[in-house]
C-alpha cells in the first residue's frame, strides 16, 4: 500500500530522515519506534502527504505522492479521505465548535452518508456520547485525544497513522484502541515509545535511530533478541514478565 524508497528529509539544513525505505502492505499493522527527535512524527506527516521529501520517492497505491500530484483536487480528495493521521498533540486537530461537529466534520467534508449514525457509533465506542454537545476546547487532554481518534475513525480510512495515540489515554481506552485496531481491516502505522504496549499494536516493528535512519525492520520477537533492544532502554526479563501477564490479550 505504501512504498518509501530512499527518502531524505531536512528541516532547513538539519537532516531529520535519512535514506528511509520500506513497504507496508494493505492490512498490515506496523509500529514505528525511535528515540525522541528521531523523526517519527515527521515520517508520519510525510506519509500523510503533508510534508514532502527532499530526495526519494513515496508511492501510495502505486501513485507517487508529490506536491504536484496533490494539486489535482480530485486526487487530493481521495487521498486525504483514505489516509487519516492523528497528530502527536491531538489539541491542534480540533477546530470545531462542539464535539459532535468535530466528529462529523470529516464525513460532511467528504460527502459521506448516514452521518449521524456514524458519529453516534464511534462516539459510543469511545464513551464520549455524553460530550457530544460540549465545546471541544474545554475538554481534558484524554477526552480531546478520544475526540481526535473518533474523528479519524469515523472516516473509515484505509490507512491510519497514529502518533503516540496512547500518550493521553487511560489504560482502559488504550486497551480498547488495541482491540479495535486488531479487529479492523485497515492498515495502521503507529508511532510509540513503550514496546510492551506497542507489541499489541502490531507485529511488525520499524525502528528509527537517533541518527534518523532505519536500524531495524521485522517482527517483535527478532527485535527482542537483537542488541538494539537494550540500547533502547528495554530489558528482556522485564519485558518477558510484562508479556506473560498479557494484559492486552484479555
Partner 1 sequence: MNRDNLMLILLFLCIIILSFINNIAFLFGYFLSITVFFLIIRGRVGTLISGILRVLPFLVVLSFAFYISSLLSKGHPYRYLVILNLRVFDMVLSLMFFREFANPLRALSFSSTLTYIFILSYSQIKTFTELYYDFSLVMRSRMVLDTSYKDRILFLRKMAGYFFKKAIARAEDTAMAMKARGFFLYD
Partner 2 sequence: MHIPDGMISPKMYIPLHVVNAGLLVYGFKRIKNKIDEKTLPYIASCAALSFVLMLLQVPLPGGTSVHGVGVAPIAIIFGPWMGFVAISLVLLIQAIFLGVGGITSFPVNALCIGFLGSFTSYYIYLFLRNLLKDKVAMFLAGFFAILVAALFIAISLGIQPMLSPYYFPFGLKTTIPVLLVPHIFVGIGEGILTVLIYEFVKKGIKNE
Ligand X SMILES: Nc1ncnc2c1ncn2[C@@H]1O[C@H](COP(=O)(O)OP(=O)(O)OP(=O)(O)O)[C@@H](O)[C@H]1O
Q: Which residues bind ligand X (CB under 6 A)?
A: 11, 16, 34, 36-42, 88
42 is an interface residue for Mg ion by CB under 5 A: no
**Interface segment toward partner 1; rule CB under 8 A; list 59-67, 94-102, 117-125, 207-215:** 94-102
183 is an interface residue for partner 2 by CB under 8 A: no
Say which entry of partner 2, partner 1, Mg ion, none residue 85 contacts (CB below 5 to 8 A, set by partner kind). Answer: partner 1
CA-based angle 185:221:153, to the nearest 5? 25
Reading the block at residue 232, the C-alpha cell is 533502547
Reading the block at residue 4, the C-alpha cell is 518509501
Reading the block at residue 155, the C-alpha cell is 472516516
172 is an interface residue for partner 2 by CB under 8 A: no
Say which entry of partner 1, Mg ion, ligand X, none residue 34 contacts (CB below 5 to 8 A, set by partner kind). Answer: ligand X
The sheet with strand 214-219 has its strands ordered as 83-86, 159-163, 187-192, 29-33, 204-208, 214-219
68 is an interface residue for partner 2 by CB under 8 A: no
Task: Name the region of 126 (left: φ>0; alpha: ψ -120 to 50; beta: rest).
Answer: alpha
Binding residue (CB under 5 A) for Mg ion from 7, 34, 38, 41:
41
Minimum Å gap between C-beta 233 and partner 1 is 26
CA distances from 89 to 85, 197, 235 (A): 11, 19, 29
Print the binding letters for residues 2-41 with partner 2: x by CB under 8 A, - otherwise.
Answer: ---------xxxx---------------------------
Amino acid at each position: 500500500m505504501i512504498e518509501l524508497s530512499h527518502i531524505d528529509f531536512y528541516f532547513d539544513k538539519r537532516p531529520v530522515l535519512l535514506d528511509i525505505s520500506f513497504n507496508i502492505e494493505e492490512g498490515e499493522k506496523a509500529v514505528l519506534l525511535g528515540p525522541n527527535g528521531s523523526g517519527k512524527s515527521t515520517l508520519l506527516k510525510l506519509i500523510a502527504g503533508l510534508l514532502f521529501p527532499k530526495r526519494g520517492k513515496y508511492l501510495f497505491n502505486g501513485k507517487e505522492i508529490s506536491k504536484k500530484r496533490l494539486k489535482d483536487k480530485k486526487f487530493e480528495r481521495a487521498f486525504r479521505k483514505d489516509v487519516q493521521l492523528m497528530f502527536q498533540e491531538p489539541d491542534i486537530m480540533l477546530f470545531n465548535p462542539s464535539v459532535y461537529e468535530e466528529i462529523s466534520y470529516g464525513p460532511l467534508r467528504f460527502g459521506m452518508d448516514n452521518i449521524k449514525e456514524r458519529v453516534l457509533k464511534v462516539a459510543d465506542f469511545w464513551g464520549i456520547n455524553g460530550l457530544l454537545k460540549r465545546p471541544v476546547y474545554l475538554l481534558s487532554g484524554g477526552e480531546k485525544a478520544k475526540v481526535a481518534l473518533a474523528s479519524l475513525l469515523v472516516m473509515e480510512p484505509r490507512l491510519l497513522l497514529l502518533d503516540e495515540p496512547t500518550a493521553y489515554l487511560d489504560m482502559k481506552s488504550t486497551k480498547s484502541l488495541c482491540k479495535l485496531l486488531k479487529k479492523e481491516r485497515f492498515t495502521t502505522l503507529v508511532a510509540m515509545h513503550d514496546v510492551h504496549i506497542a507489541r499489541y499494536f502490531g507485529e511488525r516493528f520499524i525502528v528509527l535511530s537517533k541518527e534518523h535512519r532505519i536500524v531495524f525492520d521485522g517482527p517483535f520477537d527478532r527485535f527482542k533478541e537483537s542488541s538494539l533492544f537494550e540500547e533502547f532502554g528495554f530489558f528482556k526479563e522485564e519485558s518477558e514478565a510484562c508479556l506473560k501477564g498479557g494484559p492486552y490479550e484479555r
